[in-house]
Amino acid sequence: MRVSSQHPKKKILFTLNFQLFTTLYIAFEGIVGSGKSTQVRKLGEYLQWERHDVVHVREPGTTPIAEDIRHLAQVKGWEGEHMHPLTNAYLYAAARSQTLHTVVRPALDAGKIVVADRCFLSSCTIQWEAQWLGIDTILDINHEAILGIIPDVVIYLDIDADTALSRIFDHSGDKFEREWKSFYQAIIRWYEKCEKLEIMKNRFVRIDASGTEDEVFARILRKLNSLKHV
């Protein structure tokens, strides 16, 4: 996959305990029940409290077009027909393209901080496991969708499947919230493989997601504080 690792306007944007960072685009990853959405909200609120201009996004989704694609990919069913894995992969890439190019890129160009609930790594893990497309196929499909818009930091919330599943309250949710424990155990293994991808070098940050919301958030801030640059 041919990707660029640089944003066109990289700036020092915020401080944590007076240490300077150049982070622009932070994405949270992890299995269902790991606490991604909660920590995205907490980090966004924290940065806004420090008077920074923050944009929240989620993948797939955020824009009306991307949200409609999300519904097709994750919720909608058809009588007598199943969606082909390649079709599903292209739908996710299409939603990603819409969000990245109409929301994320303009925000980064304007010097804002983007905090995202998932990024392309979700396709690399979930579709790799659930649909067996192969990592190279998934990366190739997403190449044009991403066009170098890659998170500066990917915060992976590391948690075991049993604990994560105990946190899921909506068991009638989308197709991924209704999966079995073995599925999430496999997804965890694929995240470990994705951590070793060349494009994740100096980007992938593993955070212990056990404990209370505040305990996890404190670990995230400490880790961000320890990064010299991204």
**Domain segments of the chain: what residues?**
19-226
Contact status, residue 77 vs residue 101, Cβ threshold 8 Å? no
186-217: pLDDT as tens digits: 999 999 999 999 999 999 999 999 999 999 99
Q: Which position has the token pair 């980007």?
A: 203
Q: Rounded to the nearest 5°, which phi and psi values hold at 55?
A: -115, 125
52-98: pLDDT as tens digits: 899 999 999 999 999 999 999 998 889 999 999 999 999 999 999 99
The CATH number of 19-226 is 3.40.50.300
**Residue type for 80, please?**
G
Strand 54-58 and strand 113-117: the pairing is parallel
31-40: pLDDT as tens digits: 999 999 999 9
pTM of the model: 0.86
Bridge partners, 179 (sequence order): none
d(CA 55, CA 32) in angstroms, rounded, equals 22
